[in-house]
A = this chain, B = another copy of it.
Amino acid sequence: MATPDILVSEVGPRDGLQSIARSMSTGAKHRWIRALAAAGLREIEVASFVPPRLLPQMADAAAVVAEALRIPGLTVLALVPNLHGARAAVAAGAHKLTLPVSASRAHSERNLRKSPEEAVEEVRRVLALRDQSPRAFGVEVGISTAFGCTLEGRVDEDHVRRLAVALAEAGVDSVGLSDTTGYANPAQVRRMFRHLIADLGERAGGAHLHNTRGQGLANVVAALEAGVTTFDASLGGLGGCPYAPGASGNIVTEDLVFLLESMGLDTGVDLAALLAARDVVRGALPDEPLYGHLSDAGLPRGFRYARERAGRPAPARPHPAGRDA
């Protein structure tokens, strides 16, 4: 079985749910995650290990991780803001932890209540935990506000570059770049990911792009040219952008997968099953807007998946298991 060309890392159950006011029931989260995995998504960021008083939507993080671990072949990712969260995520059994480090000082202080230097120190503590742990798990960092900041405006590209190198040298497995604010443009995305890959080699991570100003998939094209092979996305663009009504936050998984497959890049994802997973979200959160174009327009006549066009066998897919699967 060939490995798909591109890893689409679904962040809806974490980033999407974290950005909206209403909570989703634990059972609905399970059904949603199973539906995503059944569509062929191989990596899902399922929860955030933060204090429940700050994000009550994530109070069931350990239970969500435990249930997701029952899906064979699925990589279960959890966001952790600090060592305390990392310990809880590791205890729950997450395969990989992802930590945010903000390139913008103002954003870091407002969102993480830490300076960027303190955030890097927190990453070092999590790396020490990993190195002492009897169970292997991965540690990733996404550098937020890497392309600009709503508080500071322009973010110095060389500063981002140095931050990424420092994190990789500290032992982070994979350092990606996040357009937290929807400020990125394709010329910048191409340039910055080329630098990241040149500087970090195999430790260069993926692209976390937002569609706040409609530029999300345009930035994906630029990142592909730079050599990026991992993209975060959220089913239905769930989460939106609180200060921009009508503007989705994360890029929409369905539209991303359609883009990649149309370009001849195998994702291992089945679009009909992915579109069907929207029903789970709609049923659980009937008042939340879901975004995306493919869901309205449907697949083009004569559409073929990249693997069909290349005559390749279909990739192995995680088969969801669970009580009501």
A binding-site residues for B, Cβ under 8 Å: 148-154, 181-183, 185-188, 211-215, 217-218, 220-222, 225, 241, 243-247, 252, 255, 258-259, 262-264, 292-294, 296-298, 300-302
User: Which of A215, A294, A297 has the most C-beta atoms of chain B within 10 angstroms of its own C-beta?
Assistant: A297
Interface class of chain A by DSSP: loop
State whether A293 touches B221 (Cβ < 8 A): no
Check B212 against A293 for contact (C-beta < 8 Å).
Answer: yes
- Note all chain B residues with C-beta closer than 8 A to A222: 221
CA distance A149 to B302 in the complex (A): 9
B215 touches A262 (CB 8 A): yes
* Shortest CB distance A7–B (Å): 19
Q: How far is the CA of A220 from the CA of B221 in the complex (A)?
A: 10
For the complex with contacts A245-B296, A247-B293, 8 further pairs of A-B residues with Cβ separation under 8 Å are A148-B302, A153-B301, A187-B262, A188-B262, A212-B293, A217-B218, A243-B297, A247-B297
- Asked if A214 contacts B252 (CB within 8 A), the reply is yes
Name the CB-closest residue of B to A297. Answer: B244
Measured CB to CB, the closest approach of chain B to A192, in angstroms, equals 13
Query: Nearest 9 CB-CB pairs, A to B?
Result: A153-B302, A214-B293, A185-B262, A244-B297, A217-B218, A153-B301, A187-B263, A214-B255, A221-B221
CA distance A119 to B31 in the complex (A): 54
